[in-house]
A and B are shown apart, each in its own frame.
Chain A
Amino acid sequence: MKKLADREEMDLEVLDRLKAYTALDNPIRLRAFRLIHESPGVPFNEIARRIRIESGLLAYHMGVLKAAGVVDVTYERDGRQVTSYRLGARGEELFSELFHKRPRPTSKAGKAVLRSVVTRQN
């Protein structure tokens, strides 16, 4: 039987996962998430322009991503204040989990090449 502390730790992991995937479980937020990964430091107005969504509604969606810890936010003053977004460590982990393809099993021909390289090195 698992110890109570282990179970609580597991629950914390699942709770964190639930929070993150509740935030991503929306097509607009998922698009913003991908866009931020492709363009780290992208400003709020640029996201609104690229996703073609009104800024009031986008502010809500970006708020959800931030509150869930999926994105990090920086505020800069460039004449007026600008909010920029990038994926934090948690966001990068989630991105890898969702989008990175697993390495393909090597073909027969590929295996033969690899074998010959290994033999030559030895």
Chain B
Amino acid sequence: MMESREALSKVNTVRRVHRIRREAEQRLQRSGLVVILLGSSGRGLDERRDVAHVLARRGIVALVPEDDFPVEIGPSVLEVDVLERSDMDLVFLSIESWGAAAEFGQFSSNPKIAPKLRVLVRPEYHPVHSPPGSYLTDLYLTHLVRHGHVYPVDGGRQAPVPSAKALIPMLVERHREIKAFRPLNITK
């Protein structure tokens, strides 16, 4: 009897949390999202932290594994399994190193992760901005045709394309608007 009452109370709490979230979503006319920002360390990490800060101010849960994961696990153990099974909405991957390129290959070929994947590459490697030639550019072209979502980022360094800090919040904002109003119009 006590156990069933406790189970019922847990179910009620889960429902209540969901209802409060829906109320906030309706009020803002935007969906709540969980996104993860992956990429290389060094300057790339600082940029991801900046982006996470911008997104957090907009009510979006933005994970930077190096900062948010427990030390027992470490950011490198972000298993494919976790990205597949979790309730994560979007996976942003800035490709600035061979390690990130290897992750891209892994994620892009996974049918559960690929639709959530948003790939950020430098214009010189983007198939629309540069002639295809390298193996990686060819992989980006395949992903672009299959799933879309391969974006050049530069911040005006060489080409007139936005920085990751400008691009990611813009994409996330539109995604949550579509998710709130026309959820069937997006694959993820």
Which residue numbers of A lie inside 8 Å of B, CB to CB? Answer: 11-12, 14-19, 21-27, 30, 44-45, 55-57, 59-64, 66-69, 73, 75, 81-83, 98-99
Greatest chain B CB density within 10 A among A19, A45, A66 is at: A19
B70 near A21 with CB under 8 A, answer no
Interface SS of chain A: helix
A26 to B59, alpha carbons, bound, how many Å?
A: 17
The smallest C-beta distance from B26 to any residue of chain A, in angstroms, reads 10
Q: Contacting chain A: which of B15-23, B116-124, B129-137, B142-150?
A: B15-23
A18 near B25 with CB under 8 A, answer yes
Residue in chain B with minimal CB distance to A23: B61
Interface residue count on the B side (C-beta < 8 Å) = 41
In the complex, what residues of B have CB within 8 A of residue A61's CB?
Answer: 86
In the complex, what residues of B have CB within 8 A of residue A75's CB?
Answer: 71
Q: Is B155 an interface residue (CB 8 A)?
A: no
B61 near A11 with CB under 8 A, answer no
> Given the interface contacts A67-B68, A83-B71, does A25 sit within 8 Å of B18 by beta carbon?
yes
